[in-house]
Each structure stands twice: as C-alpha cells, then as structure tokens.
A and B are shown apart, each in its own frame.
Chain A
Amino acid sequence: MRNAEKYTHVSYLEHEGKYKGIWSWLLSTDHKKIGLLYLYSIAFFFVVAAILGLLLRLELIAPGPTIMDAQMYNGVFTLHGIIMVFIVVIPGLGAVFGNFFLPIMIGAKDVAFPRLNLLSWYIFIIGALLGVASQFAGDGPPDTGWTFYVPYSAESATNVIFALTAAFVLGFSSILTGINFIVTIHRMRAPGMGWFKMPLFPWSLYATAWIQVLATPIVGITLLMVIAERTLNIGFFDPALGGDPLLFQHLFWIYSHPAVYIMILPAMGVVTEIFPTFSQKPVFGYGAIVISSLAIAFVGYFVWGHHMFTTGISYWSRWFFSFLTFIVAIPSAIKVFNWISTMYGGSIDLKPPLLYAISFIFLFMIGGFTGLTLGALATNVHLHDTSFVVAHFHYIIFGGMGFAFFAGIHYWYPKMYGRMYNIKLANIAWGVLFTGFNLLYFPLFIIGLQGMPRRYFDYLPQFHAGHFISTIGAIILVIGIFMMMYNLIYYRHRGPVAPSNPWKGVTLEWQIESPPTHENFDVIPEIKNPPYLFKKEPQT
C-alpha cells in the first residue's frame, strides 16, 4: 500500500495491499472498501429488520393473535426498531456513500484517519452483534421499544442491558465516523476547492458530522445511566427512588431528535447531487442549500421536546418546542423548492436514480406535513402514540432516507462497480416499491386519526380494513425490495461495463475511471470552478 509505484487503472476492487484475499477487505484502510463493508453489513441488517417488519404486519392482518403472541410482538417491534434506527438508518448514508464518495468528491485520496475509519466499522459490527445477542442471551428479547423509556426499561425482566450496550457501542462508532468526516473536509479538500466550491453532498455530511459529534455522547451517557439504574439501583429515573422519568425522555430526545437529522441530512445531500445531473442544470440556490443544511443541524437541537407534548412538561416548554418545530420546517422547505427549481427548465432524463429522488420529494413532503400536524400542540394530543405517528416517521425515514439511499445506490452503482444494472428492471422495481410503500403506510395515517394506538398487537374490528390494506402493501413492498436487490446483485458481475460517466455528471467522482483506482486520483485535481457547471450552460 505504501509502494510508490504507479497503479494505472487497477481498480480498487482488485487492488491488494499488504494483505491477500479476504484480508485485503477486512484489514483494508481504503475508504472505498470500508464503504462497501458498511454497505454489505447494513444491507444484511436491513433485510433482517425488513422481514421483522413484515412479520409485524402479518400479525396485524386480522384482529386477535394470528402468528405471534403479545410478548413476542413486543420483542419483534423492539428489535425491528433497534436494528433499523441504530444499525441501518443512522449510519446508513454517511457510512456507505459518505465513506465511498466524500474523499472522491472533495478530491482527496482517503479520509483523514483511515485506520480509525476501519476501527469504526469494527466497532459498528461489535455493536450490531451485541444487538443480535440481546435476542438470545439472558432472559428473553428486550421488549421496551427502541426508545428504552424508563421506568419500564429499568424494570422489564427481559435482556435490556445488552440492547442498551449495543446502542451505546453503535453510537461510539458513529462519533468516530463524524470526527473523521469533519477533519477530512477541513484538511483534505483539493487545492482550489474553497468551502463554497464544495459539492453539496459533502456539505450535508459536514452538517451531519457535527450532530454526530455533539449529540451522540448525550445518549451514550443516558444509556449508561439506565444500565446503572438496572444494575446498581441508582435511581435517576425511577420515581420510586426519587428520580424523574421525564428527565430520561429529555436526555434521550436531546440526542434522538437530532439523530433524525443525522438520518435525513445526508439523504437530502444525495438527492441534491442527483437533481442537477439528471436535469443537466446547475443546482438552484447553492448557498441556500448550504445554509439550510447548517440551519437544520442547529435548530434541530432544540426541538426534542415535541416528542413529549403529552407528558406534562411545562406550558412554556411546549410552546417553545412547538414553535421551533415549525421553524425547522422552513429550511427543509427551502430545499424542496431548490430541488424543484433545479429541475425546472432542465433537460430531464428520467432514469432510476431520478425516479427515486423525485419520489423522495413526494414522500418526504407527506412526512414533513404530517410532522407539522404532530408538531402543533392541539392536534398532537389527539395523535400522540397513534399509528399516525408510525406512518409519519416511516414516511420521513423510509420514504426519505430509505428512498434517498436507493436513489444513491442506483446513481453511484456504475461508479462503485464499473457495471450497469438493468435499467428497465430497476424502473419496475421502483414502481413496485413505491406502490407497496404507500399502500403500507398511508392507511396508518387514517386509522391513526381514528384512534388506532401504536405498538398494539391487537385492535378493534373497525380498524381491520386499514390494517389489511397495510399488510398487503407490506408484502408488495418487500417484493419490491427483493426485485431491486436482485437487480443490483445479479448485474454486479454480469451487467454491461459502465462508462466512467454514464449520467454525464460533473462532480469529481465522474471525472475518474469506474471503478476508481486505489488512490482515486493519479494527480490531485486543481479546482477552479464552482461545482455543477454543465457544458450547455454559458460559463461565467
């Protein structure tokens, strides 16, 4: 790896450093290989958790117990939540595409601390395995939900400590990745790439990384306190010992609300890359997008209380959090306007990445507007803890982050593997996914409005129709996911060789060959122009 000899056009996939075979992956400090390691592990856990989600839906296909009992249902939705939130969605985009493309897009050969980067992946795997182990070790799978609310999490007889530790360890991995990205962006941009010549995906990662660094430790210590509560009777959160359960909710959401922005900001960054490329037009309002990313990251710190409106927090506190929740919608809306304006008048090429990106806007808008419904104090009382909330955050997290992830993988796939997937099949899979998604989650809004509580394994007959449609949607959605994955996996080796710039993109990753060489660039490029200058545009 330290050899000075020039590797001309040996792709990173074939490149072997000091280690051979499987070790050239497991011990590689190449940011691209680490990105793929994350991709494969996250994809694996995504499939596991998606199947768990399907099981939950199957249970709800008819009233009364169908395929599992109540306790098992609690365990399954807890595991579904822990895997999806802590293992899949929070690291997701940043660890996969951030690792792979951040250095390339800013014209660097690697991240600032490559070995630390590999360490983060190992810590991630340890955390993930602990999460899985919580299902089998000790006294039964945890049943607290991924939020670990006390006092129940302090009293539940199930194996909560493993799950808490898993979340703690995963948080640590997330922190290290965040540190790595901030330093990389500060120190390793190519010569000439000033802050405002940087593409927008790195910008979104920058905003995200700050949240990762400055918010994750709070949940770390909170989880440690719950562990201490369970093992040592320490009593911070247990009312019987003088503690305050609401304090746990404060501490938990101080991290976990910004965590939503850890999920969604990189997603916004990905689609911001896709719209200019498939419209062949410079992104509209570059500065506004940058500032809105930073604004979301900052304001996002101070809205955590909107998860607690019905818990009896003070009037002024509710007022404040509700107000800021509305404020944080503004930068998000600015971005939506910018994406649409980017497409306006462009020569639009409706390829799979753009399809996913457009559906991202659609689903994200539904999620966003229902978020305002929940952020308003009066309606929140009615909707709190109903399946309306479940539908809302799945529209944001799956419809937002998930679809952006799919958009990203379809966008960058030819760059990552040097092959092209079947575009027709990708379009069909998108159609199935999109249909299944809306069938699955939209009915939950309606039955939520009618009063269907979340996390219940049984329900009144009046909700049957909604649940039934929703379960059908879940089945279609899972079929869509498997079609998409089949397409990506099958054509990994069999697809036609992709040109180095199939979408006529202009950011740096499209200027190098596909797949990139081990060192990305033979010569570090010198940046003279702002990003997103397309040839047809008059150069200024």
Chain B
Amino acid sequence: MTNSSSHAHPVDNEAGKLGMWLFLFTEFFLFGGLFLVYAVFRAKFSDGFHTGANDLNAMIGTINTVVLLVSSMTVAMAITAIQKGSNQKAILFLVATILLALVFMINKYFEWAHKIELHLFPGSEALQTLERGELLFFSLYYMMTGLHALHVIIGLTLLIICIFQIKAGNTHKGQYLLLENSGLYWHLVDLIWIFLFPLLYLLT
C-alpha cells in the first residue's frame, strides 16, 4: 500500500496507514466468518467441542502463543529502531521476528503432522467415524489454523521485503510506511491467534 505517489503528490503516510487499517478490517471479517461458524457449532455441539479440544496439545498451543507474542514485540521494536534511525538494529529485530515466525510454523507443522499420523485430517475416514461435534471441531481447527498459517506466511514475506527495503535504503527514518504497515499486518496475525488459541486449545 505504498502506492500513493503517482502524480505530483507527496507520499501521504496517513493515507497509506488508513488504507492498511481498512485492509486489516477485511482480514478481521474474513476470520470473523469462521468465528461465527465456530460460535454456532460450539453452541450446538458443546460436548463434541470439549472432546475435540482435549485432543489438541495445549502445550504446543501455549508455546506458539508465547512465540507469536514475542514476535509481535520484536516487530514493534523494529519500528522503534527505524524511528530512532538505527537501521542495523531494525534489521536485527526483523530477523528475530522472522525466526520466531519460523519456529511457529515448524511447531505447527509437527502438530499437523501428528494429527495426520492419527488419520485426523479433513476427509479422512477416521474423522468421519467421529461424532458430529468432534468432526466439526476438527474441520474448524484445520480451516482456522490453516488460514492463519497462510497469513503467517504472507506476513513473513512482507517482513523479508522490509529487510531488503531497509538495505536498499528505501525504508529509513524519514520514510518507513512499508515497515509500519507490515508491522500492523503482523500484529493482526497475532491478534487472530490470541482468539484462536483459547477457543481451540483451552476450552476443554
């Protein structure tokens, strides 16, 4: 969203940020649809959801929560660093964020791999034998964490672009809209997880 300069306009950072917020709203509503489905089925099949949540490993969930929260802080710190003019520090914080994101994804991979080993994946026969509530729980689990993981990957890409932009000298103390917006996006990923984590892992 740094497209504000076409004609003779100066770059309008406020416009860029407002545009990003609006985009985040659409992301929020994209997940909102899934939260709505979750709410309806949870109300209908609370028992199945309890057993379903019991099958998930709360430990992995907690670790991933901590990882994402810390990464949220490092990306916020990267913005502080760029505002203070220390580009090197900013890059370091971004690298840290990216590493944390990778940890999150690796964790996720093991979690999913384990479930698939148990033949609990969408469309599997083992899943079809479960009672309805549990089946729906797992469908939601895959849909929600899958969409979330996709957003982690997009955020990751944005952060990597930020590093290159800082190195190329396009993002600096005077102009860091891209970094700021990527940061906002990354926080959104965190925000969604803040709700996903208790809803999927904890409510047993």
Q: Which residues of A contact B (CB under 8 A)?
A: 1-2, 4, 29, 109-110, 112-116, 175, 178-180, 182-183, 186-188, 213-218, 220-222, 224-225, 228, 232-236, 241-244, 247, 250-251, 519
Q: Output the least CB separation between B28 and chain A (Å).
A: 8
In-complex Cβ contact of A247 among B14, B37, B142 (8 A): B37
Knowing A4-B8, A217-B32, A218-B29 touch, does A228 contact B132 (C-beta < 8 A)?
A: no
**Measured between alpha carbons, how far is A220 from B25 in the docked complex, in Å?**
13
Please determine whether B136 and A179 come into contact, CB atoms closer than 8 angstroms.
Answer: no
The 3 A-B residue pairs with the shortest CB-CB distance in the complex, in nearest-first order: A242-B132, A221-B33, A217-B29
Query: B113 within 8 Å of A by Cβ?
Result: no
Please determine whether B15 and A244 come into contact, CB atoms closer than 8 angstroms.
Answer: no
Please determine whether B136 and A236 come into contact, CB atoms closer than 8 angstroms.
Answer: yes
Knowing A183-B22, A221-B34, A519-B7 touch, does A234 contact B139 (C-beta < 8 A)?
A: yes
Please determine whether A218 and B32 come into contact, CB atoms closer than 8 angstroms.
Answer: yes
Number of cross-chain contacts by CB at 8 Å: 127
In-complex Cβ contact of B30 among A115, A188, A217 (8 A): A217
B135: chain A residues at CB < 8 Å are: 235, 241-242
Please determine whether B7 and A179 come into contact, CB atoms closer than 8 angstroms.
Answer: no
Knowing A183-B18, A217-B29, A242-B132 touch, does A29 contact B6 (C-beta < 8 A)?
A: yes
Give 13 A-B pairs besides A114-B3, A213-B25, A243-B136 with Cβ atoms closer than 8 angstroms: A113-B1, A113-B3, A179-B26, A187-B15, A214-B26, A217-B28, A217-B30, A221-B30, A225-B33, A234-B122, A234-B123, A234-B143, A519-B8
Chain B residue at smallest Cβ distance from A108: B9
Query: B85 within 8 Å of A by Cβ?
Result: no
**Measured between alpha carbons, how far is A186 from B142 in the docked complex, in Å?**
39
Please determine whether B7 and A110 come into contact, CB atoms closer than 8 angstroms.
Answer: yes
Please determine whether A247 and B15 come into contact, CB atoms closer than 8 angstroms.
Answer: no
Most interface-central of B6, B30, B36 (chain A CB within 10 A): B6
Q: How many residues of B contact A (CB 8 A)?
A: 42
Q: Which residues of B contact A (CB under 8 A)?
A: 1, 3-4, 6-9, 12, 14-15, 18-19, 22-23, 25-34, 36-37, 40-41, 44-45, 122-123, 128, 132-133, 135-136, 139-140, 142-143, 147
B147: chain A residues at CB < 8 Å are: 221, 224
B123: chain A residues at CB < 8 Å are: 232-234
Knowing A236-B139, A244-B40 touch, does A110 contact B32 (C-beta < 8 A)?
A: no
Q: Output the least CB separation between A93 and chain B (Å).
A: 20
Knowing A214-B25, A242-B45 touch, does A222 contact B33 (C-beta < 8 A)?
A: yes
Please determine whether A115 and B139 come into contact, CB atoms closer than 8 angstroms.
Answer: no
Knowing A187-B15, A222-B33 touch, does A112 contact B4 (C-beta < 8 A)?
A: yes
**Measured between alpha carbons, how far is A356 from B73 in the docked complex, in Å?**
57
Please determine whether A225 and B143 come into contact, CB atoms closer than 8 angstroms.
Answer: yes
Q: Output the least CB separation between A278 and chain B (Å).
A: 33
A251: chain B residues at CB < 8 Å are: 33, 36-37
A110: chain B residues at CB < 8 Å are: 6-7, 9
**Measured between alpha carbons, how far is A29 from B3 in the docked complex, in Å?**
10
| 6 A-B pairs whose Cβ atoms sit less than 8 Å apart in the complex | A2-B7, A109-B7, A112-B15, A217-B27, A218-B29, A222-B33
In-complex Cβ contact of B31 among A115, A221, A234 (8 A): A221
**Measured between alpha carbons, how far is A224 from B132 in the docked complex, in Å?**
21
Knowing A114-B3, A182-B22, A217-B33 touch, does A187 contact B139 (C-beta < 8 A)?
A: no
Most interface-central of A113, A215, A216, A250 (chain B CB within 10 A): A113
Q: Output the least CB separation between B81 and chain A (Å).
A: 27
**Measured between alpha carbons, how far is A513 from B1 in the docked complex, in Å?**
32
Please determine whether B136 and A187 come into contact, CB atoms closer than 8 angstroms.
Answer: no
Knowing A217-B30, A221-B30, A228-B143 touch, does A109 contact B9 (C-beta < 8 A)?
A: yes
Please determine whether B23 and A179 come into contact, CB atoms closer than 8 angstroms.
Answer: yes
B41: chain A residues at CB < 8 Å are: 236, 244
Q: Output the least CB separation between B16 and chain A (Å).
A: 8
**Measured between alpha carbons, how far is A224 from B32 in the docked complex, in Å?**
13
Please determine whether A116 and B25 come into contact, CB atoms closer than 8 angstroms.
Answer: no
A217: chain B residues at CB < 8 Å are: 26-30, 32-33
**Measured between alpha carbons, how far is A116 from B15 in the docked complex, in Å?**
13
**Measured between alpha carbons, how far is A239 from B26 in the docked complex, in Å?**
29
Please determine whether B122 and A112 come into contact, CB atoms closer than 8 angstroms.
Answer: no
Chain A residue at smallest Cβ distance from B48: A242
Chain A residue at smallest Cβ distance from B135: A242
**Measured between alpha carbons, how far is A4 from B26 in the docked complex, in Å?**
37
**Measured between alpha carbons, how far is A396 from B45 in the docked complex, in Å?**
40
B23: chain A residues at CB < 8 Å are: 175, 179
A215: chain B residues at CB < 8 Å are: 29
Please determine whether B143 and A213 come into contact, CB atoms closer than 8 angstroms.
Answer: no
A235: chain B residues at CB < 8 Å are: 135-136, 139
**Measured between alpha carbons, how far is A250 from B28 in the docked complex, in Å?**
18
Knowing A216-B26, A217-B27, A217-B32 touch, does A247 contact B40 (C-beta < 8 A)?
A: yes
**Measured between alpha carbons, how far is A422 from B106 in the docked complex, in Å?**
67
Please determine whether B29 and A112 come into contact, CB atoms closer than 8 angstroms.
Answer: no
B132: chain A residues at CB < 8 Å are: 241-242
**Measured between alpha carbons, how far is A214 from B23 in the docked complex, in Å?**
10
A222: chain B residues at CB < 8 Å are: 33
A182: chain B residues at CB < 8 Å are: 18, 22
Chain A residue at smallest Cβ distance from B9: A109
B33: chain A residues at CB < 8 Å are: 217-218, 220-222, 225, 251
B30: chain A residues at CB < 8 Å are: 217-218, 220-221
A188: chain B residues at CB < 8 Å are: 15
**Measured between alpha carbons, how far is A2 from B12 in the docked complex, in Å?**
17
**Measured between alpha carbons, how far is A213 from B23 in the docked complex, in Å?**
8
Knowing A235-B135, A241-B135 touch, does A187 contact B12 (C-beta < 8 A)?
A: yes
Please determine whether B40 and A183 come into contact, CB atoms closer than 8 angstroms.
Answer: no
Please determine whether A186 and B34 come into contact, CB atoms closer than 8 angstroms.
Answer: no
A228: chain B residues at CB < 8 Å are: 122, 139, 143
